């Protein structure tokens, strides 16, 4: 292998391979510092290091988390399990086919072919809209119908196993060449594939080059979105980093909406690490297979902006950890051992409280222990009730139903006394007032799975 650059790290002479690999002078891999030394010390200790070194360290870190690494230029384009048709292809079709067969063994070959074709067909249209259409297939599955023994069958084919990450294939590929619509090719730094689908894209820059900052990495992604748009039809998270600082953003986010991932594990109380450890935080805190699947399944939503544009929103770290803690607390509080008191989730102004509530409701409704709960959102002002109702209405795909506003006191009492399960409802606390002849509020329903969210 040819070496394209060199570096000195803590007095150690390093060789940078054309595939991004980093070797010491004696030919042994340079890996020990990824765990043995904080990445923040790189600024103080590196005399000369380039983006390839950062790329390789990121790949090694992801390998430790359970991803399998392949060098893009070693992968044949038109044959084998990594075949993608041509340089314009962005899905590893055979890996996808294998996953569909494995996760849906009941499907005949014709149905598997239909699923693969549905997922990989090159639709035209606005990118975020195409991304939303794919996301629904990813999260909810692909509807199929086929003949079996003369009988028409209907089924839903899974593309990933969200419940057991080990049933999926996690592959990261660096330096994968993709044909640009403007001619030539584009080469994203690292792409994370799950079952052959490119769900994560990393764009990395050199921490020592003043002109190669996070904004330049963001701008590079915008160029990719224009020239190799098909790659981003499947994308769920974008990561920009210079090896020290790192930001996470959605497909439609502007630069200001790319935010750091400040906590690795809320339960372990591993709070914010040093500023320069942002990339480690993000990798450890989100890019393990189990966490990534949970994030993609429950913490992505689409809504229309005031100008009518479709935008994609993904959770910040505090929303991800806060909602998961709240869901776990809810499951326990509503159990026989619980005291029916779930707890308080604190937000600062502008930190996305309404969206956190929507993520919380969406995940609650999927918990089998709650047996299709009824969710009641209670506020003390009509304007706030309307705002939250609009947020939930815009995100109805996430909660998989249409929310309803309760009109008056009588309707609220009827709803709570007669509803047996399900539903997302909005009301103001004033509708819980007493009738003239009452001195205390009556018990309307003793179900343990009526969840009250108060703002």
DSSP for 332-391? HHTSTTS-S--------TTS-HHHHHHHHHHHHTT-GGG-S-EEEEEES-HHHHHHHHHH
DSSP structure string for 94-156: HHHHHHHHHH-TTS-HHHHHHHHHHHH----S-HHHHHHHHHHHHHH-EEEEEEETTEEEEEE
Are residues 83 and 8 part of one domain?
A: no
Per cent of the chain over pLDDT 90 is: 77
Predicted TM-score (pTM) above 0.85: yes
Are residues 36 and 106 part of one domain?
A: no
Q: How far is CA 229 from CA 119, 152, 197, in A?
A: 15, 37, 14
Does 339 reside within a domain?
yes
Are residues 230 and 84 part of one domain?
A: yes
**Number of domain units in the chain:** 3
In this prediction, residue 349 carries a pLDDT of 83
Are residues 77 and 38 part of one domain?
A: no
Are residues 358 and 262 part of one domain?
A: no
Are residues 355 and 299 part of one domain?
A: no
Are residues 327 and 220 part of one domain?
A: no
Are residues 270 and 174 part of one domain?
A: yes
In this prediction, residue 53 carries a pLDDT of 79
**What Rg do the C-alpha atoms of the chain give, in angstroms?**
25
User: Torsions phi, psi of 287, nearest 5?
Assistant: -95, 10
Q: How far apart are the first and last CA of the chain?
A: 61
Mean pLDDT of the chain: 89
Are residues 422 and 394 part of one domain?
A: yes
pLDDT band for position 126 (50/70/90)?
Answer: very high
Are residues 243 and 123 part of one domain?
A: yes
Least confident of 14-23, 200-209, 257-266: 14-23
Residues forming a β-bridge with 127: none
User: How many whole angstroms separate alpha carbon 240 and alpha carbon 92?
Assistant: 24
State the average pLDDT over residues 406-432: 96
User: How many whole angstroms separate alpha carbon 431 and alpha carbon 409?
Assistant: 5
The CA angle 178-302-317, to the nearest 5 degrees, is 85
Show Cβ contacts of residue 32 under 8 Å, excluding neighbours closer than 6 positions: none
CATH code, domain with 129: 3.90.1570.50
**Local structure of residue 75 (DSSP, 8 states):** S
CATH code, domain with 403: 3.40.50
In this prediction, residue 356 carries a pLDDT of 97
In this prediction, residue 1 carries a pLDDT of 56
**Local structure of residue 25 (DSSP, 8 states):** T
Does 75 reside within a domain?
yes
pLDDT tens digits, 234-254? 999 999 998 778 999 999 999
Domain boundary among 261, 279, 305: 305
User: How many whole angstroms separate alpha carbon 52 and alpha carbon 60?
Assistant: 12
**Local structure of residue 233 (DSSP, 8 states):** H
pLDDT tens digits, 70-81? 999 999 999 999
Q: How far is CA 4 from CA 14, 52, 204, in A?
A: 11, 10, 18
Joined together, the tokens standing for residue 172 give 């990261």
State the average pLDDT over residues 193-222: 89
> Is residue 292 a contact partner of residue 193, using CB atoms and an 8 Å limit?
no
Domain boundary among 305, 335, 366: 305
Residues forming a β-bridge with 174: 71, 190
State the average pLDDT over residues 267-273: 51
Q: How far is CA 253 from CA 215, 250, 314, 338, in A?
A: 13, 5, 9, 40
Domain boundary among 274, 305, 336: 305
Are residues 77 and 156 part of one domain?
A: yes
> Is residue 82 a contact partner of residue 92, using CB atoms and an 8 Å limit?
yes
State the average pLDDT over residues 44-72: 81
| Residue span of the structural domain in which 23 resides | 1-47
Are residues 1 and 116 part of one domain?
A: no
User: Angle at which helices 109-120 and 127-140 pack, to 10 degrees?
Assistant: 150
pLDDT band for position 2 (50/70/90)?
Answer: low
**Local structure of residue 277 (DSSP, 8 states):** G
Does 62 reside within a domain?
no
> Is residue 67 a contact partner of residue 172, using CB atoms and an 8 Å limit?
yes
Chain centroid to CA 17: 32
In this prediction, residue 351 carries a pLDDT of 87
Show Cβ contacts of residue 304 under 8 Å, excluding neighbours closer than 6 positions: 310, 311, 394
Does 63 reside within a domain?
no
State the average pLDDT over residues 295-322: 96
């Amino acid at each position: 292998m040819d070496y394209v650059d060199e570096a000195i790290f803590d007095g150690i002479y390093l060789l940078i391979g054309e595939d991004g690999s980093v070797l010491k002078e004696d030919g042994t891999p340079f890996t020990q510092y990824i765990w043995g030394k904080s990445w923040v010390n790189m600024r103080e200790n590196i005399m000369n290091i380039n983006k390839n070194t950062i790329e390789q360290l990121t790949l090694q870190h992801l390998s430790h988390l359970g991803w399998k690494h392949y060098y893009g230029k070693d992968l044949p384009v038109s044959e084998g399990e990594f075949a993608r048709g041509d340089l314009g292809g962005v899905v590893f079709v055979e890996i996808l086919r294998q996953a569909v067969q494995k996760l849906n063994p009941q499907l005949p070959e014709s149905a598997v072919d239909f699923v693969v074709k549905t997922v990989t067909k090159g639709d035209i249209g606005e990118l975020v809209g195409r991304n939303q259409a794919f996301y629904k297939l990813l999260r909810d599955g692909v509807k199929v119908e086929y003949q079996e023994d003369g009988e028409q069958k209907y089924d839903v084919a899974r593309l990933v196993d969200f419940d057991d990450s080990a049933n999926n294939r996690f592959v990261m590929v660096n330096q994968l060449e993709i044909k640009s619509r403007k001619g030539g090719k584009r080469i994203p730094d690292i792409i994370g594939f799950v079952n052959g689908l490119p769900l994560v894209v990393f764009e990395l820059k050199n921490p020592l080059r003043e002109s190669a900052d996070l904004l330049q990495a963001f701008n590079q992604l915008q160029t990719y979105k224009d020239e190799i748009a098909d790659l981003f039809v499947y994308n769920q998270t974008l990561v920009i980093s210079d090896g020290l600082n790192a930001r996470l953003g959605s497909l439609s986010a502007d630069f200001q909406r790319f935010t750091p991932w400040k906590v690795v594990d809320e339960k372990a109380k591993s709070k914010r690490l040093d500023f320069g450890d942002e990339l480690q935080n993000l990798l450890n805190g989100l890019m393990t297979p189990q966490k990534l699947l949970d994030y993609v399944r429950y913490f992505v939503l689409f809504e229309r902006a005031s100008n009518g544009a479709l935008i994609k929103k993904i959770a910040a770290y505090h929303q991800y950890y806060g909602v998961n803690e709240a869901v776990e607390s809810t499951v326990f509080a509503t159990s026989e051992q619980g005291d029916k008191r779930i707890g308080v989730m604190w937000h600062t102004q502008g930190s996305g409280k309404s969206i956190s509530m929507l993520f919380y409701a969406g995940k609650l409704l999927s918990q089998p222990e709650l047996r299709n709960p009824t969710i009641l959102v209670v506020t003390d002002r009509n304007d706030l009730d309307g705002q939250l109702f609009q947020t939930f209405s815009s995100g109805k795909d996430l909660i998989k139903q249409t929310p309803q506003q309760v009109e008056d006191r009588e309707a609220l009492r009827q709803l709570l006394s007669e509803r047996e399960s399900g539903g997302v409802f909005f009301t103001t606390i004033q509708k819980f007032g007493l009738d003239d002849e009452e001195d205390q509020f009556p018990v309307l329903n003793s179900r343990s799975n009526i969840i009250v969210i108060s703002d």
